[in-house]
Amino acid sequence: MENRSVLELLKSTLGENKVLCSLENLYVYGFDATPVYRGKPMAVIRAYSTEDVMKVLTIANDYAIPVVPRGHGTSLTGAVIPVEGGLILDLSPMKRIEVDVENGIVVAEAGATIGEVNAECRKYGFFFPPDPASAEVATVGGALATDAGGMRGARYGTMRNWVLAMKVVVPGGRVLRLGAPVYKWRCGLNLLHLFVGSEGTLGVITEATLKMLPLPEKIVRLLALFETVDEAVTAICSIRRRALNPLILELLDESTIKSVNEVFNLNMPEVGAAVIADVDGPKEAVERLGKEMAEVFEECGAISVRIASDEGEMEKLYAARRGAYPAVSRLYPIVLIEDIVVPLSKLAEAIRRIKELSSKYGVAIVVFGHAGDGNIHPCICMSSRDEESMRLAEKVFYEICRIAIELGGTVSGEHGIGLQKVHALVEELKYRESSWLLEVMREVKKVFDPKGIMNPGKFFMRCRKCWEV
Ligand SMILES: Cc1cc2nc3c(=O)[nH]c(=O)nc-3n(C[C@H](O)[C@H](O)[C@H](O)COP(=O)(O)OP(=O)(O)OC[C@H]3O[C@@H](n4cnc5c(N)ncnc54)[C@H](O)[C@@H]3O)c2cc1C
């Protein structure tokens, strides 16, 4: 059937208002939060219910039309780019959230944002632990599909650790109900977690049952300033060794501090590195833990340690870290953000080697990230969008991935593979003598998506160049 006829069928099945075909819409939905990728869908479908999704995946499967599920398009890897055209399936209208205090769970539709889930939980004295810096816009579906982490990852890990059940629609329109709304579940193979981090390549998540936690009685936020990144990393490792178990443990290097100051006027002291740490718990304990943590920072050579005294100051520190990527990407036309993880014991070496690359190639590399769990986001910053700069950025990007792999780490801790890290994934698997796992993944995909319509051209593809300058 011709594309035009498929669109007519979609309109008559779903209703005209849910099928967007204007040039403006097709253009806008061709991007994500990366500066280098773009595609053009044939149409955008706005889904309002699981039934809508079932109808779309029935028609798309019948006529082998590509489908790219989309939350709010904040992907940092090109994961949501419609490289092979087809349909963008926008889940953002699905926003229902229900908190079930008695059972300690929150049920959210795919289009609700992590921030909205948290706001709802807070009304009842609870919170949802994963906390990507993009929480106000990242959707539950997108966060599950990328297995997003965030600042509280140092303690609570990624989305995977907080999902109990999901409703997923697969090509052909069948609904899978994976997991169960209980804290323990041991029935057969764990297909629930197969879909977490699958980046829209297996099916469409329409609803999730998530665990929540009681809000801590008190949080104390510390800002420790260091002359060098090395000292800051030593301090982070000491905090871990002393089993202080912080809620967040974030690193900002000097160029990050300068960037957030310039863009957001934050007035942070422009020293070699800053560490932002949170401790939480009962009032009496938290103050003692905060002091202990401050002592560790001082022993490790901090120039100054400040314990934030009020909500305003605490929020300003959080804003500095949350604003790191937006600040850097406002200052440079091209920023390639990495998402590497290394064992904590190798973090100082990783950053040292990254800074050496910066000098070797004369390229600005800004480093910040969730250092408490070894996950950092070096950003390769280019002042020009020309082909030569792109090639250099790409070269440096893969050299940083290689550093992570050689140090026993991985190329992605939370952003996923998307378009950006296909080669890096292949490299990592090769290094681990596990290249055949890619074949296993392709076979698994065929079980749910035999025609290959779900988010095609992403990490199952055989490598090809996908930059667009
Ligand atoms: C400023 C900024 C800060 C960020 N900070 C963090 C951070 O701290 N931690 C972190 O982990 N990430 C971070 N990110 C990356 C990004 O926000 C996350 O990956 C987020 O979870 C994506 O959510 P989204 O709704 O925008 O998904 P999208 O970008 O729309 O989609 C991402 C992927 O998920 C798939 N997908 C979306 N919805 C569904 C669904 N319902 N069913 C199946 N597949 C689906 C898409 O096909 C795509 O592959 C940041 C991004 C920005 C711009």
Measured in residues, the chain has a length of: 469
Within 6 Å (CB) of ligand 1, which residues are found?
32-33, 68-76, 79-80, 91, 110, 132-134, 138-139, 141-143, 145-146, 148-150, 199-200, 204-205, 325-326, 414-415, 455
Q: Strand 19-20 to strand 43-46: parallel, antiparallel, or no bridges (unpaired)? A: antiparallel
Distance 282 CA to ligand 1 centre (A): 33
Q: What is the pLDDT along the chain (469 residues), one digit of tens a residue?
A: 788 899 999 999 999 999 999 999 999 999 999 988 999 999 999 999 999 999 999 999 999 999 999 999 999 999 999 999 999 999 999 999 999 999 999 999 999 999 999 999 999 999 999 999 999 999 999 999 999 999 999 899 999 999 999 999 999 999 999 999 999 998 999 999 999 999 999 999 999 999 999 999 999 999 999 999 999 999 999 999 998 889 999 999 999 999 999 999 988 999 999 999 999 999 889 999 999 999 999 999 999 999 987 888 888 888 889 999 999 999 999 999 999 999 999 999 999 999 999 999 999 999 999 999 999 999 999 999 899 999 999 999 999 999 999 999 999 999 999 999 999 999 999 999 999 999 999 999 999 999 999 999 987 765 444 444 3
Check residue 465 and give its pLDDT. Answer: 44
- Domains located in the chain, CATH noted: 3-90 (3.30.43.10), 99-214 (3.30.465.10), 218-325 (3.30.70.2190), 332-448 (3.30.70.2740)
Helices (H), 63-218: 114-122, 140-146, 153-156, 191-195
- Choose the residue to mutate in 74, 95, 144, 194 for probing ligand 1, maximizing ligand atoms within 8 Å of C-beta: 74
**Per-residue pLDDT at 92:** 98
* Tokens coding 46: 């706005």
pLDDT for res 318 = 87
How far apart are the C-alpha atoms of 1 and 414, rounded to whole Å?
Answer: 39
Question: In angstroms, how far is CA 196 from the centroid of its own chain?
Answer: 12
What the block records as the tokens of 417 is 């593979």
**Alpha carbon distances (Å) from 421 to 158, 235, 395, 457:** 19, 31, 12, 12
Compute the distance from residue 138 Cα to the ligand 1 centre, in Å.
6
Q: Return the number of other C-beta atoms located less than 10 Å from residue 139's C-beta.
A: 29
Say if residues 427 and 402 touch (Cβ distance below 8 Å): yes
Q: Could you tell me if 38 and 81 are in contact, meaning their C-beta atoms sit under 8 angstroms apart?
A: yes
- Within 10 angstroms of residue 154's Cβ, the number of other Cβ atoms is 25
- The residue to which tokens 């002091």 are assigned: 291
Ligand 1 atom 5 nearest Cα: 133
Tokens 């939370």 — which residue? 414
| The pLDDT value given to residue 460 | 72
Q: Residue 462 has what pLDDT? A: 55
Between helix 324-331 and helix 254-264 the angle, nearest 10°, is: 80
The letter for the amino acid at 187 is: C
| Ligand 1: centre distance to CA 162 (Å) | 16
Residues 284, 289, 290, 294, CA torsion sign:
positive
Spatial separation of the C-alpha atoms in residues 388 and 376, rounded to whole Å: 26
Using DSSP, state whether 390 is helix, strand or coil: helix
**Residue from 28, 36, 52, 80 whose mutation best tests the ligand 1 pocket (most atoms within 8 A of CB):** 80
Greatest CA separation found in the chain? Answer: 70
Please return the burial class of 202, using the count of CB atoms within 10 Å of its CB with bins 0-12, 13-18 and 19+: buried
Q: What is the sign of the dihedral through the CA atoms of 137, 143, 148 and 151?
A: positive
pLDDT recorded at residue 379: 98
Query: By three-state DSSP, how is residue 462 classified?
Result: coil
Nearest by Cα to 111 from 78, 72, 159: 72
Single pTM value for the model: 0.96
Residue 52: predicted pLDDT: 98
In the chain, the amino acid numbered 399 is E
**pLDDT of amino acid 469:** 32
Cα separation of 376 and 409, whole Å?
11
